[in-house]
Structure 1
Amino acid sequence: MSKQAYKLARKIHRLFNDKQITDILKLSNLTRYGDEMPEIYVWINSNFSEGYIAIENIANYERADREKFEQRVSGILSGRFQKYAVVSSELIAGDSFILFYFEDTFTSQRLYIKDNMNFLKEFVSDDKHALKLSKDLTWHADVTAHLSIIARTRAGKSVFAGRYLARLMLLQNWVVEYNSAKYDRYVKEFNGQSDPIKIVERAEYWCTIMDNRLREINEAGKEKYLEMNDMPDIAIFFDEIGNLNASLESLDKTDKTLKIMNRWINAINKLSATGASIGIHIIAISQFATKEGFLPSLARVNCSDAVIMLGGAADSASERQYLMSGFADMPKRRYDK
């Protein structure tokens, strides 16, 4: 920690006095000699945006694991520290301490952009696999291959994906294709398809590219595309997936020999399962994360490691459980655009 961060950490540490630990959090242990108090440590990063509070586990974890306990710890961060809120907690390896991670939730981390490619150049990363999503959030596509974006109508998901993310990928020398069941400007700009059958055919086409890349990697004696010199990242956007699913089911009812829904399921499952090792990244976009409104089960699991939920979708616990099972029981909050 820097000197300033250390001073701030000490001030936060003083908030957790005997009264708070014993009466509010109830993490002390009553013995015949008096109350046994846990050790407490606080760490905060150099720009004061996030940190953690470490509370010793003295056989008190079952009390700290109660529902809403994280919000109780957040309540102690009052006064000038009210901008900090606990966002998650965990036991460290060895179970000796409970870590409560907190973040500055008052200061906006949004990126403000203009509608032109030149303005995006300031967000280009030296690491071509790293895509900046906000001031404090970066998507490392070489670590987490696929991305899911869930948001209601008019929440800005297509604008974020097409106007910002896809264009930023081009500036970082990615190959980009934008498919959407609703024809819009990004389908035309990034050479995609809007017809449901053609979208499925494009998914099948990328499966053949995937097989060819796998063969090239094996012939070169490598394990991943990251070890190849001439193998750029490929981003395939699938927008309005709920609309796409409904259209494919309707086509199957009209022509039972078409079996277009099965072709879609097979292609998207194959791409999501194997694409990570050869540099194919799926960006799946929909209004809902349900089975009917989003990807089939296998693909949904493969695309659940990196998830962005905007507006009303982030407000809904039942919505979060489909893609972010560990966050389904978060307290009700309002997430605006």
Structure 2
Amino acid sequence: MRKYRRIKREKGSSHQGYQVSLTAHGLFSLLTIVTCYLYLKVATLNLLNFLRNPLLFLTIFFVISAVICFVVFVILFGRRERITTLAIPKMSNHSKNISRKIYRLFNDKQISDVLKLSNSTRHGDEFPTIYIWVSEDCNSGYIAIENIATFDIIDRDKYEQKISGLLGGKFSRFAVVSSELTSNDSYMLFNFEDTLTSFKILVDKSDSELKSFTSQNAHVIKLSNDLFWHSDITPHMSLIARTRAGKSVLAGRYMAKLMQIQGWIVDYNSAKYDLYVKQYRGKSDPLEIVERAEHWVAVMQKRLNEIIEAGKDKYLELPDMVDIGLFFDELGHLNAALELDKTLKKRWEVAINKLTATGGSAGIHVIAISQFATKEGFLPSLARVNCSDAVIMLGGAADSADERKYLMPGFADLPKRSYQTGQGIARIITSGKKWESPHFYETPWFN
């Protein structure tokens, strides 16, 4: 990979020092050849002997000058402006092939005229260094563009979509989904992924029991073919979606059932009585939901005592202590009902704050579900923060910047998109680098 800055000369640009010395070296070398030839002719033909000494002197002078110019060229050539290199992970041969093809898309015309990333200097246009990395499965990667004092351009709104526009034709399946600076601010990484290939789970009638979607690790819940929730690391989850956006099917029909198959204890409560409350024998009355939350606080405390008595640090070290999935659906309705009873509301806030703050250590996992992620329609502030490391937003909620800023800090300004039923964005910080930032997500589809 290139070590020095690439500068393309333009009409009227001045030469760099190493270019001047190289030109002088070439000129003196040519003059050396000419004077040497003339000296040999004079000496051979024995004519114009008075020119022999001047020609010899000139030849020696030109040789010395050529040598000096070459030495100066080597020194100046080695002192050119060096670039900051970027260490990228190793790639397979197939990934390298795709990487080279994408790299060819970023030619001088695209970099200078379209992206406006070249800097005009007295020596010509200087171009940034570009690295392309493609993952092993060839479904994602990043484009690293050197920051040569062009961050004000690279960081503009919708610049990610501008980079995506270059990935047309054969690579139209790729789109830039996020961008970030490297730790030393030398490169801007534009993360791209395959946005046309669907990774959603397709559940046929033969798979209605979901046994084919279970994980060997009981603490891991498969949410799609490329997204897994590691509940032992990120204990709680938030699910935000409007009515008929697919949240109840994801939570009640898929997640809760899959948890039961994997040996979890499931408790499904909703402020609106529905099929899943009935199926899992949950509660729908606000008072009963609060009492149920307080019951699980007592269970949590009992479990923590058992862990301490056993001399262990985590519930994972006790094989008989299974995971517990607590679903609290329609939190907006619950909050509205609790407004009529301030004492009951306080009890709810204390219980849910305790469950989300300490429940993970005892194997208790809160799945908080609501139509809105606002302060009034979701969890209290402390509980909301504890549930913000694993977030799924579907439908209109995924396209709401005001709601994303509550659960996905730093990602409020995402491009505006239209999501169909069962589509949205997800961010689970312990599910791999890809999911550390919001990405397109599709819920399981039941045929």
What TM-score does the superposition give when structure 2 sets the normalisation length? 0.71
Question: Structure 1 residues 60-69 or 171-180, which shifts more?
Answer: 60-69
Distance in 2 between the 1:61 and 1:115 partners?
52
Q: Which structure 2 segments of 5+ residues have no match? A: 1-90, 422-447
Shift of 1:24: 2.2
Shift of 1:94: 2.7
Shift of 1:116: 7.6
Q: Which residue of 2 aligns with 1:122?
A: 212
Q: Which residue of 2 aligns with 1:330?
A: 414
Instruction: Specify the structure having the higher radius of gyration (Cα).
Output: 2
Q: Which residue of 2 aligns with 1:95?
A: 185
Distance in 2 between the 1:72 and 1:124 partners?
40
Partner letter of residue 161 of structure 1?
A
Q: Which residue of 2 aligns with 1:13?
A: 103
Q: 2:198 is paired with a residue of what secondary structure?
A: coil
Q: Which residue of 2 aligns with 1:301?
A: 385
Q: Which residue of 2 aligns with 1:247?
A: 337
Shift of 1:279: 1.4
Q: 1:155-194 alignment to 2 at 5 Å?
A: 155-194=245-284
Q: 1:327 is paired with a residue of what secondary structure?
A: coil
Distance in 1 between the 2:358 and 2:381 partners?
15
Distance in 2 between the 1:146 and 1:163 partners?
19
Distance in 2 between the 1:14 and 1:263 partners?
62
Distance in 2 between the 1:212 and 1:35 partners?
69
Shift of 1:240: 0.6
| Equivalent in 119, 143, 146 of residue 236 of structure 2 | 146
Shift of 1:54: 1.4
Distance in 2 between the 1:100 and 1:215 partners?
48
Q: Which residue of 2 aligns with 1:31?
A: 121
Partner letter of residue 110 of structure 1?
K
Q: Which residue of 2 aligns with 1:214?
A: 304
Change (3 A) 1:9 1:231: same
Q: Contact conserved, 1:9 with 1:43, CA < 8 A, in 2?
A: yes
Q: Which residue of 1 aligns with 2:399?
A: 315
Partner letter of residue 380 of structure 2?
P
Q: Contact conserved, 1:210 with 1:280, CA < 8 A, in 2?
A: yes
Pairwise CA RMSD: 1.7
Shift of 1:117: 6.8
**Residue 324 of structure 2 is aligned to residue 234 of structure 1:** yes
Question: Structure 1 residues 277-286 or 38-47, which shifts more?
Answer: 38-47
Change (3 A) 1:163 1:117: farther
Question: Structure 1 residues 211-220 or 296-305, which shifts more?
Answer: 211-220
Deviation digits for residues 16-69 of structure 1 (CA, Å, limit 9, x no counterpart): 112222222222333322222222111222332211111223333332122222
Distance in 2 between the 1:300 and 1:116 partners?
38
Shift of 1:91: 1.7
Shift of 1:284: 0.6
Identical residues among aligned pairs (%): 64
Q: 1:238 is paired with a residue of what secondary structure?
A: strand
Q: Contact conserved, 1:109 with 1:134, CA < 8 A, in 2?
A: yes
Q: 1:246-285 alignment to 2 at 5 Å?
A: 246-250=336-340, 252=341, 259-285=343-369
Shift of 1:115: 6.4
Q: Contact conserved, 1:124 with 1:172, CA < 8 A, in 2?
A: yes
Partner letter of residue 346 of structure 2?
N
| Equivalent in 202, 221, 228 of residue 112 of structure 1 | 202
**Residue 148 of structure 2 is aligned to residue 58 of structure 1:** yes
Q: Contact conserved, 1:40 with 1:54, CA < 8 A, in 2?
A: yes
Q: Contact conserved, 1:117 with 1:167, CA < 8 A, in 2?
A: no
Q: 2:202 is paired with a residue of what secondary structure?
A: coil
Shift of 1:318: 1.8
Q: 1:326 is paired with a residue of what secondary structure?
A: coil
Distance in 2 between the 1:50 and 1:68 partners?
20
Shift of 1:179: 0.4
Matched pairs, number: 331
Q: 1:216 is paired with a residue of what secondary structure?
A: helix
Change (3 A) 1:117 1:241: farther
Question: Structure 1 residues 132-141 or 88-97, which shifts more?
Answer: 88-97
Change (3 A) 1:186 1:115: farther
Distance in 2 between the 1:142 and 1:64 partners?
38
Q: Which residue of 1 aligns with 2:112?
A: 22
Q: 2:196 is paired with a residue of what secondary structure?
A: coil
| Equivalent in 110, 124, 130 of residue 40 of structure 1 | 130
Distance in 2 between the 1:189 and 1:33 partners?
74
Shift of 1:199: 0.5
Question: Structure 1 residues 215-224 or 192-201, which shifts more?
Answer: 215-224
Q: 1:314 is paired with a residue of what secondary structure?
A: helix
Partner letter of residue 163 of structure 2?
V
What TM-score does the superposition give when structure 1 sets the normalisation length? 0.93
Distance in 2 between the 1:247 and 1:278 partners?
30
Shift of 1:119: 4.1
Change (3 A) 1:116 1:141: farther
Deviation digits for residues 197-239 of structure 1 (CA, Å, limit 9, x no counterpart): 0100111111111111221222222222222222211110000
Q: 1:198-209 alignment to 2 at 5 Å?
A: 198-209=288-299
Shift of 1:93: 2.5
Q: 1:155 is paired with a residue of what secondary structure?
A: coil
Shift of 1:331: 1.7
